[in-house]
Amino acid sequence: MPRLADAREFVDDLAAFVTASPSSYHAVRESARRLREAGFSELREEDDWQVEPGARVFVVRDGSIIAAAVPTGADPTTPLTIFGAHTDSPSLKLKPKPSTSAAGFSQVGVEVYGGALLNSFLDRDLALAGRIVLAGGTVRLVRTGAYLRVPQLAIHLDRQVNSEGLKLDPQRHLQPITGLATDEHDVLADLAALAEDPVTGEAAPVDPADIAGYDIVTADTQAPAVIGAREELFASGRLDNLLSTHAGVRAMIDAEPADHIAVFVSNDHEEVGSATRSGAAGPFLEDVLVRLHLALGGDEASRRRAFADSLLVSSDVGHSVHPNYAERHDPANLPVAGGGPILKLNANQRYATDGRGAAAWAAACASAGVTSQEFVSNNAMPCGSTIGPITATRLGFLTVDVGVPILSMHSLREMTAVTDPHDLFLAAKSLLTETAIRSAR
């Protein structure tokens, strides 16, 4: 039973990570805090970098973070092993001129961010969280308590809802209520009063007139919880993809690479296509890796040699078989929550896994003593995608897509098995540490 106890302790830490991370910016701050406490030093992109073998460093760009552990014997041809995730989740995002009112209620103008299950946002106590940017570029993080609610129309006023299904117009039906209409209603003023230092988290309120921009999303305020008759399940908001981000941070802290540079990256904006300066389709990862390589004395030729021998494991949540909708899954491949991490495959390369990548992942799981499952979509139901194919296309790394099976993906509250996040961490730790995994290639 020691492993089950370890899994429960791990998922309790995941709950703390999720609670500290209501937005991608908060997830980066919490990741950076943990890395600092573990001895990693922050590099700023605008500074000159002095990175030597043995260095443990991290870099932040907006809502994305990269960490690297350089072995003491590293040279310009040392390859990279990368564990990748993303920090953002589907949500409702604050619009310009956000303070509105209608029919005696104060409301907040929002638009849908990502492929959210819209009905899951109804009748939930929501917070606002993210960053505000002041004139001159100073950044403050903000988070409220239970500030918003999107009330569903009562069944007495929608008698056909159970027979014909719920139909939501995102513009008309998803505008949250934040109170009774008053002249004092000002969302930005409320956020300004709650501003925090982006590094320490200490209160640092600002004048709302100084707010020049903001990136604010909604987040569920219900705490993560271990649930079920035998406490085998874990329910939480933002498991997609704070689960993988947390596993990557923990694995990075524990990794002790010898023959490769261990790297962790968690990009923002995966849920909306990744095509941003801090997304996987942007230059952030390449910028950091090139600068690290140059700091180790490399040139263009040695960088290309190192990249050609490098491996990226893209970790995002995947679909557990749903007991009420088993026909929606491939009949021969039915990954179940509690059965271990999943290897994602797709003939059209919506996932980047190929035979070589699958072998490397199998070696990582074997080294960690973890059982892995395969996920492939039902042919009639095309799958989504991840940062894997995007990063592989941009940088040319051998790439494999993996994850943890969950239920209710893209709901405001998702669910997985207690044991699976810990198993993903164990595989990630082996991946970032073990020499044998590279020999599998």
pLDDT tens digit string along 308-330? 999 999 999 999 999 999 999 98
Report yes or no: 300 and 349 within 8 Å, Cβ to Cβ. Answer: no
CA distance 30 to 151: 32
To the nearest whole percent, how much of the chain has pLDDT over 90? 89
- The predicted pLDDT at position 440 comes to 52
pLDDT of 217-230, one tens digit each? Answer: 999 999 999 999 99
Please give the order of strands across the beta sheet that includes 126-134: 139-143, 126-134, 211-220, 91-102, 105-113, 177-180
pLDDT of 117-163, one tens digit each? Answer: 999 999 999 999 999 999 989 999 999 999 999 999 999 999 999 99
CA angle 53, 56, 57 (to 5 degrees): 115
pLDDT of 326-372, one tens digit each? Answer: 999 988 999 999 999 999 998 888 888 999 999 999 999 999 999 99
Average pLDDT over the chain reads 94
Supply 434's token pair. 């073990």
Supply 412's token pair. 């405001």
Other C-beta atoms within 10 Å of 431: how many? 30
- The predicted pLDDT at position 434 comes to 80
CA-nearest of 283, 346, 344 to 316 is: 344
Name the band, by pLDDT with cuts 50, 70 and 90, for residue 436.
Answer: low
pTM score: 0.96
Residue 260 CB burial class (10 angstroms; 0-12, 13-18, ≥19): buried
Q: Tell me the H-state helices in 168-322.
A: 170-173, 187-193, 239-254, 284-295, 300-308
